[in-house]
Amino acid sequence: MNLNELTAHELLDLIKEKKTSTAEVSQAVVKKIQATDGRIHAFVRTPAIPVSANSGAYSIPIAIKDNLCIAGEEVTCCSQILKGFRPPYDATVINKLKASGVVPLGTTNMDEFAFGSSTENSCYGPTRNPWNLDCVPGGSSGGSAAAVAAHEAIWALGSDTGGSIRQPAAFCGVVGVKPTYGRVSRYGLIAFASSLDQIGPITKDVTDAALLLKIIAGYDEMDSTSANVAVPDYLQALKNDVQGLKIGIPKEFFVDGMDAEVKESMSAVIAVLEKKGAKFIEMSLPHTEYSVATYYIVATAEASSNLARYDGVQYGIRRHPSQARRTPMIDMFEETRDQGFGREAKRRIMLGTYCLSSGYYDAYYLRGQKVRTLIKQDFDQAFKEIDAIIAPTSPTTAFRLGEKTNDPLSMYLSDIYTISANLSGIPAISLPCGFSKTGMPIGLQVMTKPFAEETMFRVAYTYEQNTEWHKRKVNL
């Protein structure tokens, strides 16, 4: 029995029965990292020796995306500009993990500042998909998803701004959850777009996702956007039954451009859930066609504002030009940002700054926010009649490394099915629902109304328990 290949809930049962220990689990995980991560590159920082055992109810090692603050540990968002930055405090989710006994294992690779859908925009180099090393793992939480899929981590944390947990989960054949906006504290998450970002679990099955969300969710006075809403026991929602639930199929998501194998998988999903008693309703989310354009206005504008703080003064690196150009301070600002930010980060900063600039604010950012409201209203209206919505997580399976790096628009469209959930603030989960003929995972997305994660987990768990996709293992 390979301990690192088991789920967290299976391991917790074994630890409770004294058939293994946290130390043995940690050793198995670190051994696997040492054996395979040279090929995958899921981690950017790992323990040199097995991590020590914690005491607590959930003492299982976890991988952490490189944009969550851990006191005294380097965190860089996989950007040159933050090299050497060590935060003096823990993110709230890290505090919650430690209080529950969960063991921080190491930090995972990501697109720089979460700008990307492939984990190729990292100053540490790309991560590879464990199912096919020539393919991307998705992004921006590609390192976390690849680590879980490759059994280099039992579970992991990621962040999701426009699909950055769900899309890599789909590409790597694991489970990823974007909670309701405000369900999980963002305190200690290095911001990309503050009105869109959410921290969430990446796990091997739905049960682990429910367990991990239960640990990290809850109100936090350190985050002004945190929702003071009671957190239910999500494990109680894991019922193999969707009898009577009304599930919507948005016609705007099932259009030309979707891979034929993805479409076939969705038809099979419907058949499984119908057999378990769900009723499917074709419905419309009429403003879906504007979601990508709206997202890349709102998200880049907020990114431009959030990244203005990285100028060589307080965080990370400081660079000076070889020859003076203007004043020493302005020269330092320019040189630091020029050398510190990668190509995609510069692209998004320029897009966002343009959208916020004088004369263009109303035409772009303000209009984008108005359309965002319409997108949210589409979902609000839909959830008056239905309990959940299903759709593909991604229109295709994982693409090849380098395939879209020179085509930003094509890359941005990789998140076409995930962006709407961030714009509207609703919860969404991705879980495996098939494999292509070439052996690449396909993801199912389940969305519900705000703070209805229990219904989301119920639908996902029912599908998972009546299929075998989540049991397939990467052979590395």
Among 149, 157, 164, 163, CA closest to 111: 164
Give Cα 309 distance to the centre of its chain: 24
Does the annotation count 65 as an active-site position? yes
CA dihedral over 335, 299, 79, 70, signed as positive or negative: positive
Helix 206-216 with 8-16: angle, nearest 10 deg: 80
Give Cα 293 distance to the centre of its chain: 20
Q: Which of 59, 117, 140, 185 is catalytic?
A: 140
Does the annotation count 164 as an active-site position? yes
In Å, what is the CA distance from 93 to each residue of 87, 97, 184, 187, 210? 15, 6, 8, 8, 15
- For the residues of 284-317, what is the DSSP string, one character each? --TTGGGHHHHHHHHHHHHHHHHGGG-SSSSSS-
Does the annotation count 224 as an active-site position? no
**Pairing relation of β-strands 175-178 and 198-203?**
antiparallel
Taken as a whole, the chain contains a residue count of 476
The Cα 404–Cα 427 span in angstroms is 28
- For the residues of 237-267, what is the DSSP string, one character each? G--S--TT-EEEEEGGGSSTTS-HHHHHHHH
Cis omega (within 30 of 0) for bond into 357: no
Q: Which of 32, 65, 214, 404 is catalytic?
A: 65
Give Cα 364 distance to the centre of its chain: 27
Q: Which of 117, 144, 164, 185 is catalytic?
A: 164
- 82-90: long-range pairs with CB below 8 Å, 24+: 82/190, 82/310, 82/315, 82/316, 82/317, 82/340, 83/123, 83/316, 83/317, 84/316, 84/317, 85/315, 85/316, 87/188, 89/188, 90/188
The Cα 379–Cα 389 span in angstroms is 9
The Cα 94–Cα 186 span in angstroms is 11
Is 462:25 a contact under the CB 8 Å cutoff?
no
Pure H helices in 55-99: 92-99
DSSP-assigned beta bridge partners for residue 175: 203
φ/ψ of residue 82, rounded to 5: -105, 10
In Å, what is the CA distance from 395 to each residue of 190, 240, 400, 442, 448? 29, 27, 15, 9, 20
Enumerate the active-site residues: 65, 140, 164
